[in-house]
Structure formats: structure tokens, C-alpha cells
Structure 1
């Protein structure tokens, strides 16, 4: 059995744990298996840049962040365009697959990576995928590995901001990763005790944010912590068309939405506002224990699909149990936070403001 393996898109914690789960299960359940690791994501498959892995390559990597194979972003909208050397990317991947006489390609990636995986599956390649993203926004699964570790990092940032915010009686905005969805900000905001949580799915009203700050001041609480997703948007901007919003953003002088909100609040409240952005730290470091367990189990399930020759699927979790979902049902879809989500309701019951008017 010959297996190709690659990690695609942004890195995260537990990629190595997931690959280890796949490899150890295959080695333990079949007498003859070769695993070819493609370097730097789909790019390695396009350029035929790979290495034949040894069983010991998957030892000692359970606790390592990042990916031993390296990764890169190959946007799907450019996948049908030739690369810098004029190579047809899709044809190159198919040729590499066939030249190596692979039985299956194992891909660990997020939303965009799954679109390419689905395309290769449609082209006749045997593909099995694992859901990887710190954003937890892959359609069809309740949980993606990398998410819990990122929550831990973002939560620690909010935790450590509390003391300085309280000492200086300031408003602090902690900008959390999440361009399209607010899962990470919502979970870490609640875990870190944020007073205001702003996510892309719920456009915020600046005056409502300001009212929450003033309400806390009247209660004798001299500081406020705002957990803000990097893709959060004001209700004013949310009313604009994509074209209008794009043009408006060209006039912005702020490096991110957090700094824009900070400027607005300082002008209206006359209070010091500071911004903290943990950034790529949220992707790095040692994976949490829960992520290691989840990634390992997802890897075991992926190996099971391979051994059963049940191709064209992503391992997923439904109602707390491991299952599978066809790649075409995952590709091109994003799991958004429902505005009526139970977690949203619970947050507001706690008195946390989501920035929307009552």
C-alpha cells in the first residue's frame, strides 16, 4: 500500500499528532505500507517534492506544534492557473500521484484545502482528509483539531490582560484570529471572562459597545475587556455592498479593525483604549492535551477509511461521535456561528455584550 500525505494551508497545533495517528495505525494494521510525505503542501505534490517516510519519522512528534512536512497556501482560485514555471498545477498533482502509484492521498487542511481535495477526488484520485483549522469553521464536523489549542492561547492572552487593564483603569481590545467566523473569539472570550465579544456574524454597534463600557463604570468597574475577531464588522459597514465596503476600506489608516474601534471609542468616551494582538502565536506552540487526543483519534479514523478503501471522505464528528462526510459536502462551505447559537444565548445571559442593540 502506497500512501501520499500532505499538510495544507495555515499551520496549527496537532498536525503532527494527526499524521502520527494515521501512520501508526497503518503500520500496525498492515504488513506492507509506504508513506510519501509531500513537502510544503500541494506545492510539493505539484513539483514532485517528497520524501519516503520511515516509521521512526512519526515517533516523538506527538507534542510538537507545526508540521514536519511543512505547509503552504495554494488558493483554490489559482489552482487552475499555471505556476511560475508554467506547469499545470492540477495535471502536475495527478501525474505525481500516478507516477508514485499511490493508493490514496491523505490531506490535512482547512476550507480552501478541501476544495482542492474534492477536485482531485473528482478527477479520479483516492483521497481521504482530516479537518484542520484553528477557526473550527469546516462544514460537516463539530470540531476541528487545532481549535482547542488556539482557544488556550487566546484565553491566556485575555487572562493576562486583565491585571494591567484593572491596574490602569483602561479598556483593552484583544484581537483574535478569525476573518470569516467567530468561533475562536466566542469560546476564548467566554473562557477569558471578556466583557464584550465582537464576531463577524453579529455586526456591532459602536454606541452599544460604548454603553456597555459606561454601564460598567457606573457599577464601579473601571476597566473593560473586549474580545474582537479580526473579521468583526460594524453594523454601519455591514449595510454596504462588497464593492462599497472594499472602496471604504481603501481609505482606512488603521492596521486592523481593533485599532479602528479603539480610535472610535477613545474619541467618544475620552478613555484610554489599548489593543493587543496575539496574532500567529495562536497557531503555535505545544498542542493542548485535548487537541493531541482529538487529532490522534481523527488520524486513527482516517487510517480506517484507507484500510477499508472508503475514499472521497473527510473524517468528521457528528453528535459527539466519529463519522465521515463526502468531500463534495465540505468543499467551498464555511460553518458560521448561528446568531441563535446556544453559546451566544448563554454569553448574553451572563451579561456579556455582543455589541448588538437589545
Structure 2
């Protein structure tokens, strides 16, 4: 058997305090049971994967099931929690903040909960922003609004400074809400805490509208994103059919992964082409996108194109890469390039077209969470609180194979999740749009 568990969750010490949650330890009494520490969820649920482990006489890779434990590490009466939100806006951030506060206050009796203002900047030494005292009364209605009541920012700050701030304010639990860069920062903070032998738990709630966090089924805000995008695409279709040879281009978020664009196209089957970062495509040539678009116009005299912001970057002239404060590459505007190239192509052929270009990105990312995402945000927050109160640290809470689990931060930030262009989901998208399998 393999001795090293790549999905083991680090703990601050032995949990010895009885949980204040009045849960059960037996079945049949109609009360939810505490989750045992040895309760595990398989990473690979396929028969082939299981048989392969049998043949190699190895234990299958497993994840810790999330949920309340019978014993906790922190004494709630003397515990201080802090919450920070970083990166771009995303539907559901306020839902997560609210649920963290409610769970800490009502489930465990933690009374001192601090909101860190404007991302990790709020933990830096010279930060001008005061902490926000978070109480149930202060957060009771925030789930009705998009954005984040704490504010957000991008960019790195000195890790030792941020840990100093945690120590100075006697913070025991740090909940970080953010994407890849935020989680990498949380891991670094956790490592500095470990180096100093401090008893501070760091928990991550993965927030990325692009749904590109590795291993987990989905991140919060993603479903709201394509839910909000869908009627925009519907209206774009109305624009397209309102003109002879009308073309509507809708650019959606998706810097490195095209889940929003693809999911929107799949849910709104008026889309004829969807272009994502994971796919290779040419504009010109007999098998290129422009020829496929021309064939579509000859057949139906209108077309709707959905493109992810990171698609087609190979079509631009080589230039020095520009990054934002989080280190993300700033992509060039593929929507405008498509509009210009489509117009030039049909001008050259003498065919008249009407093109409308729509970029609703900031409207979508600042929308409040829909009902399904709201429910998902609540689950993530509750499970993060259960894990942190038990002394688990440097972990992310997520759903894998439809089960809520704890994963080491290091395992979800080592690569981005992308659409498998040979997978069933992308095949479904192609069946919905009717576009060619390849345009090269």
C-alpha cells in the first residue's frame, strides 16, 4: 500500500473539545450524525480506476468528507474569525459571507467575527481600512445583492506582514474567498503560520466565475453567470434575426477555460458557434471559421456567436504580455477582432452583413446569486466552518463527485481545470450549436 496520502488535510492539533452541535452518533433516531474522520470519498469513481487499484494493490485516492465532527479544536468562547474576499467580483460572495457569519455565530457560538476590507490589502501593515465587525444583524440581507460588502482587490502583499496582522488581532480562523491567486495566497499564509508554530486555521472557499478550479465539480457563481448570460444571448439572437444576414457576437468571461461560454451556448440552443480557449481554430481557409460562418448565413441568413474572452489569442500579432495585479495575463479583445475580421471578409466577397457586438461581462459578474447558487454558497460556507473549527488548515472546501469534501489547497492550485474537447460535455455543446467539430 502507498504510504503517502496526497489528499491528507493538515490539522493544528488534536480536537478534544466537545462540539456544541447537538447531533447524533447513531442511525435511526432521525437526527443528522457527526461525520467520522475516516469517512472518505473516492476521487475516481469509475470501475476501471477501482480495478486498476486492485491490480496494483493500492488504496484508491480518497478525499475527506466535509461536515461537523464530534470534537472541535477551538473553544468558541475565545475564538476570533476573519473573512476576506479577493479578486474579481462573482455572484454569491455576499451569500458566502452571510452564511459564514451565521454558522460561526449560531452553530458554534463564535461572537467575534471580523471582515477584512478590500482583499489581502486589508491585512497589510500600512492598510488604511479598518476591520468591519460582522454580526448576524449586519449581514442578514446582504445575500440579496451582488458584489461584496467587504470590498475586494488584486495583488500580492508581504506574507509575514499579513500573518503579523492576524497575530496582532488575535485571529484564530481565516476564511479566504477567492480564486486561484487568492488560494495561492492562503497557502502561503498557512505556510508562514506553520513556520511560526501558530494555531491559526486557514480555510479557502473557491470563488471563480470561470469555474476553472482544479478537481472540484464547480465553483460558486458559475451557474448564476450562465443563467444571467442566457437571456442576453436570447436577445442577441433577436438582434441577429432582425436583419438579413444578421450576426450577433456575445463575448463572455473565460480567461483560460470556456465553461461559461460553452454552458451558455448549451443552455440557449440559438447559438450557432461557440469559441473557447481550449479549442484550436483558424479564421481563414476552406475549413476555417469564416467559411463555416458563410455557410451558415447562406443557409439561415443569421448567426449567433458566443466567444470566451481568452479564445483566439493566437490570432493577434505577437506582443509583450501584460498582466494584472494578480499575475493573470491580460488578453486582447477577441470580440472586436472577430467583428472586424468578419466585416472585412464579407466586404471582400460583396455580401452585406449586419454585425452586433455585445460584451456583458461586468453586468454578469456583479449580479446576485440565483437560487441554486445561493444554496450552493450556503453549503460551502457551512462546511468550511465545520472544518476550520476542528483545526483543519490549508484546505479548500468543494464538491467532488457530488459530495462535499476537504482538499489541500496545494492540490487545487497546481493547474487550472479546462474543458476536455474530447469529452461528453463539449460533444453536447457541438451537437447543440451544429458547428463543425474542427475549424482548422
Superposition TM-score, scaled by structure 2 size = 0.72
Q: 1:1-80 maps to which residues of 2 (within 5 A)?
A: 1-46=79-124, 47=127, 49-74=130-155, 76=156, 79=157
Say which SS state the counterpart of residue 356 (structure 2) adopts: strand
* Shift in CA distance, 144/294, structure 1 to aligned 2, threshold 3 Å: same
Contact 1:203 1:234 in 2 (8 A): no
Deviation at 1:126, TM superposition (A): 2.0
Contact 1:195 1:224 in 2 (8 A): yes
Deviation at 1:157, TM superposition (A): 1.2
CA RMSD of aligned residues (A): 2.1
- Residue of structure 1 equivalent to 2:291: 211
After the TM superposition, which segments of 4 or more aligned residues of structure 1 sit over 3 Å from their partners? 234-237
Measure the CA separation in 2 of the matches of 1:293 and 1:96.
33
Superposed CA offset, 1:23-47 (max 9, x none): 2111122234311110001111112
**Alignment coverage as a number of residue pairs:** 335
Which residue, 304, 307, 312 being the options, matches 1:233? 312
Say which SS state the counterpart of residue 115 (structure 1) adopts: helix
* Shift in CA distance, 94/351, structure 1 to aligned 2, threshold 3 Å: closer
Measure the CA separation in 1 of the matches of 2:92 and 2:232.
20
Q: Please say which structure displays the higher CA radius of gyration.
A: 2
Contact 2:265 2:429 in 1 (8 A): no
Say which SS state the counterpart of residue 143 (structure 2) adopts: coil
Superposition TM-score, scaled by structure 1 size = 0.88
Say which SS state the counterpart of residue 142 (structure 2) adopts: coil
Contact 2:212 2:257 in 1 (8 A): yes
Measure the CA separation in 2 of the matches of 1:179 and 1:32.
38
Measure the CA separation in 2 of the matches of 1:319 and 1:279.
29
Superposed CA offset, 1:255-302 (max 9, x none): 721111121122222333221111211111221111111111111111
Superposed CA offset, 1:84-114 (max 9, x none): xxxxx22221111001111110000011111
Deviation at 1:355, TM superposition (A): 7.4
Measure the CA separation in 2 of the matches of 1:6 and 1:234.
33
Say which SS state the counterpart of residue 171 (structure 1) adopts: strand
Contact 1:4 1:38 in 2 (8 A): yes
Task: Could you tell me which runs of 5 or more consecutive residues in structure 1 were left unpaired when the two chains were aligned.
Answer: 80-88, 238-243
Which residue, 148, 152, 168 being the options, matches 1:99? 168
Superposed CA offset, 1:149-175 (max 9, x none): 111222121111111210113111111
More helix by share: 1
